[in-house]
Structure 1
Amino acid sequence: MGIKVAGRVVIAKFGSIFRGDKVLNAERFNASGIILYTDPSDYHPESDNGGLAYPHSLWLPGSGIQRGSIVVHDGDPTTPNYPALEGAYRLPEDETDSPKIPAHTLSYNDARKLLVNMGGPEVREEWKGRLNITYRMGPKLARKGWTLKLEVNNKKHVVPTYNVIGVIRGSEEPDRYVILGNHRDAWTFGSCDPSSATAVQMELTRSLGQLVKQGWRPRRSIVFGSWGAGEYGFFGPWEWVEEYLKVFQMRAVAHLNVDLAIIYTYNIQISATPLLHKIIKEATKKAPAPDKSLGHETLWDHWTSRYRAASPELLDWKLGSISEHAPFYQGIGVPTLYMVWEINFNEFNWSDYPLYHTTFEDFDAMKNILDPEFRYHLSMGHLWGLIAIGLADARILPMDPEDETIMLRKMMADLKREFGQILKQKGIALAPVETTIDHFDDVARDFNRRLDTYTNISPLLARQLNDQLLMLEKCYIDAGGSPLRPHMKNMVLGTNNFNQYDGWTAPGVRDAIWEAISCQGECIKKWETVKKQISVLQYVIHSAVLTMKDFQSF
């Protein structure tokens, strides 16, 4: 709209994309600071027709203030790509990728006091909220001579945080780890985030402990991770993965992440890398439905009969960077999932639930509104436990490489639909990647055919076959990472560069294309980077082809 934000304070709604991306965009365009506020259009849409807020409903009161991290590269920013061990070298603050401008959050009651004093033209229709005011662009305030001062008083310290790790040692393959993760710290009371999942994790450890006392022990080790400093930018799991990087590259089977168990109780949303799709489906068919009075016998029945967040697909692989799973699949390629009970997306359109990260996210909200009988907490425990046991106990890992092919073909279809024309104009071909995916399809089918022919699988053969599956998604890791985001090393499955909540396939290629398309002037090198990233994508998929081939041949 022709308004420059350089040198000014920007005010923006918390909305559909990650808050940190809003701060980063303000910084990119040289704003001096940013204010984020919870407009009732997103957090109390019934406010303008007399609808009551919490504690009478799940809507956010006018005094509600959302907190949250705004870092876009998670983990300790002073020790990128290596763990924050005792005595570790730390980057000076001005060399880190932490936000460089002050950011502050307001309730919509307080934001109204600023917005009514804004001058300038009215904003676009789609930018308007539900405060009973005229939303204006600025840049000047309506009253002559008035200015705005933004002052942020954050105290920065280096302090210890703690991961609490528990292990049920495997009986036959104790060096293979099925990891169940949840962060236990909250911005306030955290009855949803993370305490609903923390409670489920605690009960699950108790339940599996009872099985151990009765004589059961899993084939592989089950590891419980209770992460510290999750809300600061997932410091706990990032530093742990960086510390155990070489170990998990060889030994980690999967990471099963439940950050928060309950947002609402309409249907469960599950995002997962393709190798976990098979076991998820199997587990939901074994788990009882959370509420059989709704007419469902199993969780599978409930899940498949209701509208899903990932509709029309039952499962998606858009994990994004919104939780503790990010270092596992982005950093080392460990098969990963993220599960949460969600809203009906036909009825609501939220990025965050209204009470998210506020002081109103308390026990009463869970007990009186969200899950009064805790049935859906129990359901999450059933599913989490069944997936963990299925991965830990099976002789051959319940993973289907042909699910990988489905994702790879969808990745290519999306790239061709979105960028095919511009790539053709630049003489850049995607055909070599497609050919490599065809080769992967062949070896994945051959792997399953060979598996079906075996009648007596020896312990050594089982280990060999499982290692092929275990290493498959790790093949997608490239040490160089994305050209824009070198910490993102998974070249097949990554995060949207404009919204950390959203997942992307082929993040390196997409980052490079975005840079090239956005380039002004001489852009030959940018398009050369696109060619290079397409070759990197081909290379990592080719590595997966070699990994899945019959190990007796080259």
Structure 2
Amino acid sequence: MLASLCRVAAATAIAGTPSPWAPAPDAALDVYETALRSTIDPSSLRTFHDALGREPHIAGTDGDWRVIEWLEDSFRTMGLAVERHEFWAYLARPVDARVELVTPIRHSFRLREETLDADPDTAHPELEIGFNAYSGNGDVTAEVVYVNRGRREDFITLRELGVDLRGKIALARYGGNYRGYKAKYAEEAGAAGLIIYTDPADSGYGRGLPYPEGGWANGTSIQRGSIKTIAYSGDPLTPFRPATRDAERLDPAAVALPNIPVQPVGWSVAEAIMRRMTGRALPPALVKEWQGGLPFAYRVEGGADLRVRVMVEQERRLVHTANVIATLEGARNPDELVIIGCHHDAWGFGAGDPLAGLIAVTEAARVMADAARNGLRPARSVAFAAWGAEEHGIVGSVEWCEANADRLTRNAVAYINLDAAAMGPRFGASAAPSLKSVITEVSRRVPAADGRGTVFEQLTRDQATPGYGALGGGSDHIGFYCHLGIPACGLNGRGGQGTAYHSNYDTVAWYRRVVGSDYEPARMITAMAVGVAANLASGPIVPLDPARYVTDGRAQVDALRERAATLGIEIDLGAVTAGIDRFEEALTAATAVRGRLGVGAPSAAADRVSGLLREIDRAWIDEGGLAGRPWFRNLFAASDPYSGYAAWLLPALRQAVERRDAAAIRVQADRYVAVFDRLTALTDRLTVALNAM
């Protein structure tokens, strides 16, 4: 029986019975959680939304600084200690852009959303044209090639078809990968320029009525966004070090930023171009995957008679902006830190992205500060963070992580990310393995936003167990999780009937029409965030679950074997599996002791146990990082280097498998054996520490 306890701990946490490592039943913690949940106020969330979403606030603009100052004033009014962390980052802003039909007719397209009488904010003078930050500057006129979603496999398909992109303008639709990789692969294929458009099948009339009648993209909706794809997150010129005013910086010419002009457009522009394409039709085998929602058959090539002009001029320069971090000091272990965060910058008003998350961070700060004034204060400190310049490539949070790396490595318990979190009533989460159990336990007590039971019941309506995603790229967890090894999670509510993602239509009016004006999704997200934070910050033993690394580790080894078989290569991961077995055996003893202890009492012994649980997450950090991406040091998880957003688990091995490199597979397998040996040694120490309680 004892030999199976570790597997039982991980399995029962998923199946419904709490893991021994999950928060133990605790009357005092129940009182605290209940007090926090009961004071979350939809009218407060609405007020925060009005204040934060009143004007456009791209990073470094006057509007951005007004948001920063509002956050500082609000957090101080709550009684929190406020830090303004300033940084100077290399950002991009638009100067001018053109997309034109040159032949068979001459026509210049509008590159800004149309203004709407139903939403006066869409006429705000500070709204920018559509742009992809870090586009190369250039002015090209050329034939057009449709590249589907601009994924790596799409360009491979075009090469196999004999389609030559050299000197052509690539036309890609959004989706399938991070937009920066569309630009990277187009440039590598020899394209002279790139147009990226929003296809109506993905987020326009193929999904429902367009805005303002409905909530989906209309023909002029333009998705803005960064296209930076360098091998690290944060400021492009200061990898591994904070971007202070006087920091030593790389030469911009030495940084692999895009060189070709890249311009995003709405589907009405794409329709006018693609309707005139007369070249090679889609091969029948590609129609199902490559045909979008425009009302004609898509083609691969435009033909010699169709020529399009793309001109982009952007300014890249150092921009001064800031993070805002407000801290509620812990009563017993103030140096230990749980962080709840979301970025504050936006491409326009940002009512959904980021403010649907930032209002939850702000409300979480308010209710936890109020509880502290009423005598309910967590043992560990809780920080509420609003990050700057996330939209340009996860800049502000990474700069804070790099500036505070030693302190965070020693003392951070976890990071809870709420980027654009409250976008609908359906709860979801992506998380490090060690945080899945605490999320599940909190979900049992939080009402679902749709009014049908708890979040846990919502998560298990259509499946036996809650399912959580893996953290990949694309948001502010990256610096904490992938660089420093601090466990992180992203909480979200989805299911709203529409999208205004990164467009000038992402206004408070759009949000209330599409997501709703009752702010129930934001209440749910706030309740989940404060519940997870309260559990992580309050218990004598921090509720990080090491058993999930056994089940998740085994699952990923199996997935790698399957991937290798698909690629036609043989791999031997027996040594890695044996390492997992040794870790599981050590964890069995620790789990048995933990199961007998219950809540425990605050003590130096409990602090030692909590410290060892934090070290288990840090054991995945390897100073050498990933091959070609040394900034990514977490050997458990990293972003997919071919798509950007997706997660690669056991990424050093995954990369070697994808490259079909037998020698590299053996080397990386040895690194993972070393990780599991570190985990085993830490777990042996954990058992000793638990027995001393």
Aligned AA (1:223) = A
Match of 1:323 among 462, 470, 475: 475
Shift of 1:45: 3.9
Aligned residue for 2:665, secondary structure, equals helix
Trace 1:370-409 onto structure 2 (pairs within 5 A): 370-409=515-554
Q: CA deviation at 1:421?
A: 7.7
1:137 and 2:300 are equivalent in the alignment: yes
Q: Distance in 1 between matches of 2:192 and 2:683?
A: 52
Match of residue 16 from structure 2? none
Q: 1:301 and 2:457 equivalent?
A: yes
2:575 aligned residue = 432
Deviations along 1:175-206, whole A, 9 cap, x unmatched? 11101110011111111111111111111111
* 1:360 maps to which of 488, 500, 505: 505
Distance 2:672 2:205 in 1: 43
- 1:264/1:551 Cα in 2 relative to 1: closer, same or farther (>3 Å)? closer
Amino acid of the structure 1 residue aligned with 2:485: G
- How much has 1:404 moved relative to structure 2? 1.7
CA contact 1:253–1:335 (8 Å) conserved in 2 = yes
Letter in 2 for 1:485: R
Secondary structure class of the residue paired with 2:614: helix
Distance of 1:140 and 1:487 partners within structure 2: 43
- Once the two structures are superposed, the pairs formed by residues 331-346 of structure 1 within 5 Å of their partners are 331-343=483-495
Q: Deviations over 1:276-330 (max 9, x none)?
A: 11111111112123243x3x2x22222221x5xxx78623341111211111110
Secondary structure of 1:385's counterpart equals helix
| Other structure's SS at 1:338 match | strand
Shift, 1:158, TM fit: 0.2
Share of identical aligned residues, percent? Answer: 28
Distance 2:465 2:640 in 1: 19
Q: Distance in 2 between matches of 1:379 and 1:279?
A: 16
* SS of equivalent residue, structure 1 residue 468: helix
Greater Cα shift, 492-501 or 237-246: 492-501
Q: Which amino acid aligns with 1:438?
A: D
Q: Quote the Cα distance in structure 2 between the aligned partners of 1:420 and 1:206.
A: 52
Mapping of residues 129-278 of structure 1, within 5 Å: 129-138=292-301, 140-141=303-304, 143=305, 147-265=307-425, 267-278=426-437
- CA spacing shift, 1:395–1:553, aligned 2, 3 Å: closer
Q: CA deviation at 1:139?
A: 5.7
Moved more, 146-155 or 85-94: 146-155
Deviating more after overlay: 238-247 vs 446-455: 446-455
Instruction: Find 2:650's aligned residue among 506, 511, 515.
Output: 506
Counterpart in the other structure of 1:442: 585
1:15 aligned residue: 175
| 4+ aligned runs moved over 6 Å, structure 1 | 421-424
TM-score w.r.t. the length of structure 1 is 0.90
User: How far, CA to CA, are the matches of 1:454 and 1:60 in structure 2?
Assistant: 54
**More strand per residue: 1 or 2?**
2
Change (3 A) 1:369 1:420: closer
Distance 1:317 1:467, change over 3 A: farther
Distance 2:465 2:628 in 1: 30
Unaligned runs of 5+ in 2: 1-160
1:356-381 CA-to-partner distances (Å, cap 9, x unmatched) read 11111211122122122111111111
CA contact (8 A) 1:27 1:101 kept: yes
Alpha-carbon distance in structure 2 between the residues aligned to 1:274 and 1:242: 24
1:147, CA displacement in angstroms? 3.1
Q: Which residue of structure 2 aligns with residue 546 of structure 1? A: 681
Matched residue type, 1:179:
I
Deviation at 1:157, TM superposition (A): 1.1
Aligned to 1:417: 562
Q: Cα deviation per residue 1:420-439 (whole Å; 9 max; x = unaligned)?
A: 586864xx521110000111
Partner of 1:70: 227
Q: SS where residue 286 of structure 1 aligns? A: coil
Q: In structure 2, do the counterparts of structure 1 residues 19 and 312 end up closer, same or farther at CA, with 3 Å as the change threshold?
A: farther
Q: TM-score, normalised by structure 2?
A: 0.72
Counterparts of 2:376 and 2:410 in 1: how far apart (Å)? 26
SS at match of 1:223: strand
Q: How many residues align?
A: 522
Q: Please, which runs of 5 or more residues in structure 1 have no aligned partner?
A: 518-525
Question: CA–CA distance in 2 between the matches of 1:259 and 1:372?
Answer: 19
**Structure 1 residues 248-257 or 195-204, which shifts more?**
195-204
Matched-pair contact (CA < 8 Å) for 1:77–1:97:
no
**Cα pair 2:234 2:398 within 8 Å, conserved:** yes
Distance, in Å, in 2 between the alignment partners of 1:454 and 1:546 is: 22
The superposition leaves residues 331-359 of structure 1 with CA deviations (integer Å, 9 ceiling, x where unpaired) of 01111000111139xxx9xxxx6321111
